[in-house]
Amino acid sequence: MSLDTPIACSSVKELPSSPEENTSTLPPQTDPFDTPIFRELVTLIRDQNASSKEQTATLKSQQTTMSLMQKTLEIHAEHLKTLTKDALKDNQPYDQKDTDDESTCTALFEIAMSKTKEEVEEWIKRMDVSLVFIALFSAVLTAFLVPAIQNLVPTPASNVTGATNLPPAPAVSDQNICILWYLALILAISNAVLSVLGRQWMSKLTTRPQGPTYKERLLLHLSREKLAKKWLAYLVETLHFLLLSSIGLFMFGLLYQLRILGLGIGNGEGFESGPLKRVVATWGLGVVLEGGVAAVMVAATAHGVIYDISPFSGPISRSILSFIKFLSSTFHSSMEYTTDLADQLDNLISSTPFYRILPAITRCILFIPYLASLLHKNAIVTLKTSNPKEFIEAYLSLLSQSNDPKLLERAISSFSLLDWVKYCSGSGKSDDAELSVKKLKKAYTRLTASDTSFRVHQTLKDRLRSFIRGCRESGITPHQLQLEYLIYRCSFPDEFAVAVGLCSLGENNSDLARLADEGMSGGGEEGFEKCIVGVLKSYQDAGKGGGKVGYRRHVYDLAQGYCETLINTTTSSNSSTSPNSPNSPSTSAVAVADARNSLSKIFSGVDPGDLIKSFVQSPFETYPLLIEFVAKGKKKRFMRILIEFVEDCEKKGEAGRVSTACLCEVFIILASPSPSDNDPEAIADTNVDEDDSEGSEIDLDLTPFLNHITKYPDYFRWSQTTDILLSPPSPPFPSPSSSPYALTINRVSDQVILRKFLGLCTEMVGYNRWGGVERYVREGSCLRAKELLGELDEIDGIERKQGSETEVVMEAGVEAEAEAGSVVIQMEMDEHLNKEI
């Protein structure tokens, strides 16, 4: 039963009408809310409370589950972030780290250990060679020493015959030879012993030190190396000196013995025939050869004294150098004392110039220290390790010579193009810049090899952007050769904006900086398209107000080539579907649509007139297909813009901004019919100006154009230009041989300029002042030029005739006026005389 259930009338009792009846009928202590409906409401509320408790418990369990899921998702997100970072780390440049980073210390420790191992291995090799040589040398020396000993020991026969008499003493020469060879053998054996001990000590130098971190291991290794490496180097040099001394003693004894044998001194009386000449000659040859060896050793020692980093430096050269420095410091301290003493004496006795006498006397007394000071100052060369130029050059050279890609990846993080330009450009001349480019090219070739990682390649690309920012912030202007090399390293179209940024660093190219920033920051196709159209009209934007335009050929050609490719894609679809080429494959409709969309994005929002002005200011070739595309359907309007622009430049004295070659190229295209003029579909797709419609007249003064090409003729396009200008005049109906821009007398306002232009066209071949061919005119154009000159001459004759007749009439009038004036004056004089009379 619900609250909406109606109550039956029979269940409602009628109340009594009087109090007596009321008291008699109501039961005592009755609850007025104790009804079925109320009890049902209470039951429903209890059920609802129970359901709410169950829902609360369910929500709490769901909340716990969601918390666990959130924690799990956070852990998964961290893991995914780590995996993403690990997956993309090879495609990103290296991050900047602290100097004492553990990975850096690990690499430095391995580098230090490898360096130490290389040096120790080199020393051990030298010791091994010495041990092998000592073994062979000792055997040879023993073979020579045995007969020398026999010469000193008396024979048994002499002891038997003369028991009471002592044998005579051996010859002094034999004793000397035996002493020399014994000393050589002793030094060789001592050398072998020290070599064995040195190998043991050096093996301990290459063991890994104990330490909790690689930083501590590195410092311990460097400290141990600092303690022992110097003495081990001394040991190696000492062993080398001992070996040379042993060989020297042996050779000296050998030559000494050869000398004695040749002169026959050992037998007391010599030979009857005199000295043995062949043996003496052999002795002389040996002395010369040994003298040459000694000279080489002296020269190597001198080289070690002069250059402190000489590879020929040894203990002797270092000792000599220390002695020279000591003498030099002694001389300088003595000269300081002498100078002070001379100043004091000059103050006491002014008549004697002690400041000249005492230093000269000191130099004479200390002549040897004076020579040592001069030698130390002028002859000894000391390497300056603080020179950043040498370090950068060494860095690039080592990068180009490295064969380990892992070492390249460690070193690439310090690669800086800004330091390369700053320290390797030299004096800024072309030769220095070319040399720096060669060094960078070798390093770039190695870094971009196939065995290097993609991360290294990305680092090189990132360094180009950093180089652009660094040059702008520091104000460094790289040489044009350096910029050209870096620009050619940029891939197209991905890094076209970077190439434009590099080009903006050149002289008079700062206008490209904004384009590069938009291209690099915009990203994607939008920034790329802005760079393309900005570069195409950059000559007009940069040349406003007479500003100079720098060298930007490469990026300009890239922009033109890209647009030409798109135009060819759109036009190839029409040609491929034509009935004349049934076998040519049709271009994909998607590619054609993309090309048209790209072209519309590139050229939307840009004034085509600015593009035409930029084309004629380019000092390099402008692609005809691009000019045709920009001027399609608007050629006559652009021709007016072109002539007005040339005239404006001439008035401002900026005619040098206009390139005659590009001006003629644009003029030829604007004056010629478009290839698609006969194509109905192409005409329907083009917005044709009213003045470009068929039958519209052309009223244009070509004086500015003729003036410019006459002053600055272009050989390559002179023939085509004159074919258009000197074509036959248009008949009532256009003919294929006529041009709407054919010259007539009334089309040029300045006949002097017209006459000068026609004078250049009267000869089929024109030469410049150096004898080279400057222009070429076809025969028909040459005849038309002569015809126009004849018309000019006729007009000039008529004008001269009319001028002469006018002059005769004017002279007659003047004479009549003079006669009338004289008559009037005579009449006035007569009247005045009559009055006086």
Q: Name the one residue in this structure whose structure tokens are 């290459």.
A: 206
pLDDT of residue 829: 62
- Residue 265 DSSP SS3: coil
pLDDT of residue 582: 42
CB 730 within 8 A of CB 740: yes
Q: Which residues have CB under 8 Å from 731's CB, separation 6+?
A: 738
Identity of the highest mean pLDDT range in 117-121, 309-313, 384-388, 679-683:
117-121
What's 15's DSSP letter?
P
Q: Which residues have CB under 8 Å from 331's CB, separation 6+?
A: 366, 369, 370, 372, 373
pLDDT of residue 684: 42
- Residue 4 DSSP SS3: coil
pLDDT of residue 775: 66
Q: Which two tokens stand for residue 198?
A: 């040195």
Identity of the highest mean pLDDT range in 526-530, 667-671, 726-730:
667-671
Q: Which two tokens stand for residue 212?
A: 């909790």
Q: Which of 121-125, 547-551, 766-770 has the lowest mean pLDDT?
A: 766-770
pLDDT at position 15 over 60? no
729: pLDDT confidence band, cut at 50, 70 and 90?
Answer: low
- Which secondary-structure segment (H or E) carries 767? strand 765-767
pLDDT of residue 6: 43
**What is the sign of the dihedral through the CA atoms of 434, 436, 439 and 443?**
negative
pLDDT at position 362 over 70? yes
The count of other CB atoms within 10 Å of the CB of residue 470 is 17
Q: Which position has the higher pLDDT, 55 or 382?
A: 55
The CA-CA-CA angle for residues 49, 54, 57, to 5°, reads 125
Amino acid at 664: C
Please report which residue ranges of 349-429 form alpha helices under DSSP H.
354-365, 367-374, 388-401, 405-411, 417-424
pLDDT, tens digit, 9 for 90 and up, residues 614-641:
888 888 888 888 888 888 888 888 888 8
Find the largest Cα–Cα distance for the chain: 193
Domain residue ranges in the chain: 1-8+34-85, 119-154+170-275, 319-379, 522-576+588-699, 701-798
Task: Of 437, 318, 301, 310, give the one whose Cα is nearest residue 382.
Answer: 310
Q: Which position has the higher pLDDT, 417 or 526?
A: 417
Burial class (CB in 10 A: 0-12, 13-18, 19+), 307: middle
pLDDT of residue 800: 59
Q: Which residues have CB under 8 Å from 527's CB, separation 6+?
A: 497, 518, 519, 520, 521
pLDDT, tens digit, 9 for 90 and up, residues 131-186:
888 888 888 888 887 877 777 776 665 555 555 566 677 777 778 888 888 888 89
Cα Rg of the chain, angstroms: 54
pLDDT at position 737 over 60? no
